[in-house]
Amino acid sequence: MRKLFSSIIFCAVVSCILPPVADAQDFKEKFAENQIITAVNLYDENRFEEAAAVLREVLKTVPDNDAAHFYMGLVGFCLNDIETAENELREAVRLDPKNFWYRFRLAMVYSSAGKEELTLSIFEDLVKDFPDKYDLYYSMAELYQRQGQPEKALETIDQIETVFGSSDMTALAKFDLLRKLGRENEGYEYLEDFNSKYSSVQVLSILGDRQLSMYNDSLALALYNEALDIEPSYAPALLGKAETYRITRDYQKYFGELYDFMENDDIALDGKCSYLNVLIRSMDQYFFKSFGPQMDSLVSICTEKYPEDSTVLTTAGIYYYAKGDSVRAEDFFRKNAETWPQSISAAASYVEILMYVHDWDALVDEALKAAGKFPSEPAFLEYASLGEYNRGNYGQVVEICEKVLSMAPEDSATVLNAYTTMGDMYYKLGEKKKAFKAYDKALAVNPDYVPVLNNYAYFLSKEKKQLKKAYAMSKRTVELEPDNSTYLDTFGWILYLQGKALEAKPFFKNAVMLYGGKESPVILDHYAEVLFALKEYDLAFLYWNQAKAINNGEIGDLESRISQRKNEMKKAGR
């Protein structure tokens, strides 16, 4: 009896804990819902792998749960598993084809995968099923444009205006499409009609720009003023108004508008700097001379309002460099680098300006300092190398190149540049074997690197050694760059040294007559020697005289050789 009684109690207890057999499916569904909530929380915390593990377990229990497939698709996308994202979202859509978000997210995945036709197909269906979803129309219009269907995009914008009415966004989108379709006049007519019904600062400014381009400055000014009555800080209208005064040469009002523009706290700083940069690039020295004080004031307004902003300091530095005030330019670039010591771009800008103004001592110091601060960027050492070269410290240049090679042994461009520079420096130091060895290493990186091929060939020709090797290298430079006067000169000179003056002549003729060789006393001297060897004496001395006129010490024995050639002619009875 005791045993039977215990059995009865056990069954009663179990029946209280477990649901009836008929409710087993409901239990699974509730369990799945709780697990999906857990997965969503993990998803929101960017714990995508953990979310995926939970969702996989859910789908083992309830494989037809559309929400589980949906979130599995989102997780797959976040894990950059596009195939899983597509498959899971497609399954979610199959299970619940009327769900807007399932279809929309699938479209987004298609779009990210570049499957624009599938994306567009879903959007077209969504618009039919959800005609009140405003943003869908703009997405469709953008997709039509990307597929090269601007007419369809225009139809979509028209559809927006029909369903929701006109707005600034639709007006500007339609105008842009009409211009792309080559219907610019129609676009402006549309904006004028829109402007007669609505007030839009964007449309008014565009119409103002249109009138200004047609030199209707009074109409342009009226349109800009109307826009500014609506929004006093609207930058395009402010600048359009200023530009109207500039075109009509009312510079007092022009700069007055620009001062207000720069002082206005409601205008984004990026916009101010962008305009200043455009203005600086468009100015010539006449403008600087005529309006230097006004431009100084514009720049000063910015630097006083934003004394530590990197973009402002850089813009000011560019302005003073363009103006020719290298001292103030250096000051602003230095201040930028000091204000933002962890900015590699600020350091690079400062180093570059030192290079442009030929402040070689400061360039070496700052470049080495930056190289220590940013050891992953070998370009700073290359700037230091340039500075040492211009100081005549060729040995220091070699040492810097060796550091560069140790820093970036796998960077072929850096290695090539380092060995090229080392070859040039060793030759200047008189260490010719080391120079040629460095050139060989450079050519091992790039056998067709013409600066090395040319220098190597020319230095061999000066030594009058290995002329066959020099000929082969120089011939390659001419093949690769047939319009380079320096390379033509090297090749022609090697031919001359090989006793082939007649073959050398056309290369020198092209170098001098076609490709700027007249500016080089060395090329003119070489050409004259070739002509003298061919007994074309009058022409030879014509080019020697030209070489003598522009020789600045580059050819130390030029005059003595010319005298020697004249004596040779006299002895020969010429």
Residues 6+ positions from 260 with CB-CB distance below 8 Å: 238
**pLDDT, tens only, 130-157:** 888 878 888 888 888 887 888 988 988 8
Contact 303, 313 (CB under 8 A): yes
Task: Return d(Cα 86, Cα 111) in angstroms, integer.
Answer: 11
Count of Cβ atoms closer than 10 Å to residue 31 Cβ: 14
Task: Return d(Cα 1, Cα 5) in angstroms, integer.
Answer: 6
**pLDDT, tens only, 500-537:** 999 999 999 999 998 999 999 999 999 999 999 999 99
Task: Tell me which residue has tokens 């993990």.
Answer: 42
Q: For position 3, what pLDDT does the model report?
A: 42
Task: Return d(Cα 297, Cα 357) in angstroms, integer.
Answer: 24
Q: For position 9, what pLDDT does the model report?
A: 34
**Which pLDDT band, with edges at 50, 70 and 90, does 269 fall under?**
very high
**pLDDT, tens only, 349-364:** 999 999 999 999 999 9
| For the chain, percent of residues with pLDDT exceeding 90 | 64
Contact 269, 311 (CB under 8 A): yes
Query: What is the token pair recorded at 371?
Result: 């190289």
Query: What is the token pair recorded at 238?
Result: 């402010």
Distances in Å between the alpha carbon of 319 and those of 256, 257, 293, 296?
19, 20, 13, 9
Q: Which helix (H) or strand (E) holds 167?
A: none
Distances in Å between the alpha carbon of 111 and those of 105, 116, 140, 504?
10, 6, 11, 62
Query: Within 13 Å, how many C-alpha atoms sit on residue 496's CB side?
Result: 25
**Which pLDDT band, with edges at 50, 70 and 90, does 574 fall under?**
low
**pLDDT, tens only, 498-509:** 999 999 999 999
**Which pLDDT band, with edges at 50, 70 and 90, does 28 fall under?**
low
Q: For position 545, what pLDDT does the model report?
A: 93
Residue 15 has pLDDT above 70, yes or no: no
Residue 45 has pLDDT above 70, yes or no: yes
HEC string of 216-279 equals CHHHHHHHHHHHHHHCCCCHHHHHHHHHHHHHCCCHHHHHHHHHHHHHCCCCCHHHHHHHHHHH
Q: Please tell me whether the overall predicted TM-score, pTM, comes out greater than 0.85 for this model.
A: no
| Closest C-alpha among 345, 295, 348, 355 to residue 303 | 295
Q: For position 71, what pLDDT does the model report?
A: 92
Q: For position 143, what pLDDT does the model report?
A: 82
**pLDDT, tens only, 284-342:** 888 888 898 999 999 999 999 999 999 999 999 999 999 889 999 999 999 999 999 99
Task: Return d(Cα 73, Cα 52) in angstroms, integer.
Answer: 9
| Closest C-alpha among 450, 436, 508 to residue 478 | 450
The average confidence (pLDDT) of the chain is 89
DSSP letter string, 472-533: HHHHHHHHH-TT-HHHHHHHHHHHHHTT-HHHHHHHHHHHHHTSSGGG-HHHHHHHHHHHHH
Q: For position 23, what pLDDT does the model report?
A: 57
Residue 19 has pLDDT above 60, yes or no: no
**Which pLDDT band, with edges at 50, 70 and 90, does 29 fall under?**
confident
What is the three-class DSSP state of 101? Answer: helix
Average pLDDT over residues 533-547: 93
What is the three-class DSSP state of 18? Answer: coil
**When comparing pLDDT for 119 and 391, which is higher?**
391
Task: Return d(Cα 241, Cα 238) in angstroms, integer.
Answer: 5
| Closest C-alpha among 369, 419, 360, 364 to residue 390 | 360
Distances in Å between the alpha carbon of 128 and those of 121, 122, 124?
11, 10, 7
What is the three-class DSSP state of 557? Answer: coil
Give all domains of the chain, ordered by start, each with its CATH number.
359-446 (1.25.40.10), 465-574 (1.25.40.10)
**Which pLDDT band, with edges at 50, 70 and 90, does 5 fall under?**
very low
**pLDDT, tens only, 75-134:** 999 999 999 999 999 999 999 999 989 998 998 888 888 888 898 888 888 888 888 887
Residue 572 has pLDDT above 80, yes or no: no
Average pLDDT over residues 202-229: 94
Average pLDDT over residues 274-287: 87
Q: For position 130, what pLDDT does the model report?
A: 87
Task: Return d(Cα 274, Cα 107) in angstroms, integer.
Answer: 37
Residues 6+ positions from 268 with CB-CB distance below 8 Å: 235
